Amino acid sequence: MVRPLTIGGVQWRNNVLLAPMSGVSDVPFRRAAWRCGAGMVFSEMVASEALVTGHMEMRMKAESAGLPFHVVQLAGRQAKWMDHAARLAEANGADMIDINMGCPARKVTNGLSGSALMRDLDHAMTLVEAVTGAVKLPVTLKMRLGWDHTSINAPELARRAVDAGVKMITVHGRTRCQFYKGRADWHAVRAVCDAVRVPLIVNGDIGCAQTAHAAMAASGADGVMLGRACYGQPNLPGDLSRELSGEVLSSEHCYSIVEHYRDMIAFYGEPLGLRCARKHAGWWMERLPFAVAGGVKREIMTSRSAALVEDRLAALERELYSGVLPGTGKRVA
């Protein structure tokens, strides 16, 4: 199941990918996932108009993580901004552009971006054509099955996008109106697989070897993309790729919350870094196989001292790895 992927002439090291996630897959998170073996990592969703007009937050989201390969995901509703943003990303060192037509968030779809574009495929294609015509880089596209169950049009959008030059399609197996409710319909993704002759990635409710096997078998996809399952464990794509390959997980691949935390503080600076780190630390603590004392958790989530928070996280990490097999979450007998 695990194999390299070739996208637009560029070979990725494996087909277990980290999803672009707003507010999550920032530069430090992508670096952590890459160090742990993810096949590819994608930037957070970058609003095209805001990027072009110099919005600092969007510039940070589009920043390279200093990795061998840099994928920027762009969102927008007007072809001119997608064109300019793609050119800017290319000039700033991006190796690939991913177009967002899958985000279900109301603040995005109310602005007629993200999965709202699946309500008007002719308009959606003006954005695809603007990006593929603006850059020499490979362009990929992420989408949902459709806006709702009365308009499942992912196969048509995928076919038209590939005809316009898109080199890879990712499909989340839900409609926009489902948001994240119910279960992802991997079988419905197979219609997209049958419609195109480029690599297809399946996304939605994949977080372990069993679900990865099932999703690829049902959809016919060439790889899997992991999203919410990676909260608190950016090592998951790499660990899963090794597990699917039959490798034994070892401490060499162990994710360190302390290393990740230091990277966040260095990247954002202490005040902002402290705030950004809290959700990651919170997710990580929720996954621990032991209870964290209320006072310790409160210090980690509220302290304004980066040194104090690092000290508390380091103590928890020592406790974790003194009794847990690294990379598995399973206690040593």
* CA–CA gap between residue 58 and residue 78 (Å, rounded): 17
Give the CATH number of the domain where residue 175 resides.
3.20.20.70
- Its domain, for residue 322, covers 256-328
Give pLDDT tens digits for 200-253.
999 999 999 999 999 999 999 999 999 999 999 999 999 999 999 888 766 555
Residue 307, in any domain of the structure: yes
Which residues of the chain, if any, have pLDDT below 70? Answer: 249-253, 323-333
**CA atoms 12, 13, 17, 19: torsion sign:** negative
> Is 103 designated active site?
yes
Nearest to 179 by CA among 224, 145, 142: 145
Check whether residue 273 and residue 161 sit in a common domain. no
Count of the separate structural domains present in the chain: 2
Residue 40 is predicted with a pLDDT of: 96
**Pick the catalytic residue: 103, 193, 230, 254?**
103
Nearest to 43 by CA among 31, 56, 53: 31
* Tokens of residue 178, six digits: 């489902």
Residue 250, in any domain of the structure: no
Nearest to 36 by CA among 315, 249, 319, 287: 249
Residue 221, in any domain of the structure: yes
Check whether residue 148 and residue 292 sit in a common domain. no
Check whether residue 216 and residue 90 sit in a common domain. yes
Give pLDDT tens digits for 273-302.
999 999 999 999 999 999 999 999 999 999
Check whether residue 172 and residue 313 sit in a common domain. no
* CA–CA gap between residue 27 and residue 15 (Å, rounded): 21
Check whether residue 112 and residue 135 sit in a common domain. yes
Residue 117, in any domain of the structure: yes
Check whether residue 141 and residue 51 sit in a common domain. yes
Residue 333, in any domain of the structure: no
Long-range contacts of 313-318 (CB under 8 A, 24+ apart): 313/257, 313/258, 313/261, 313/281, 314/258, 316/257, 316/285, 316/288, 316/292, 317/256, 317/257, 317/258
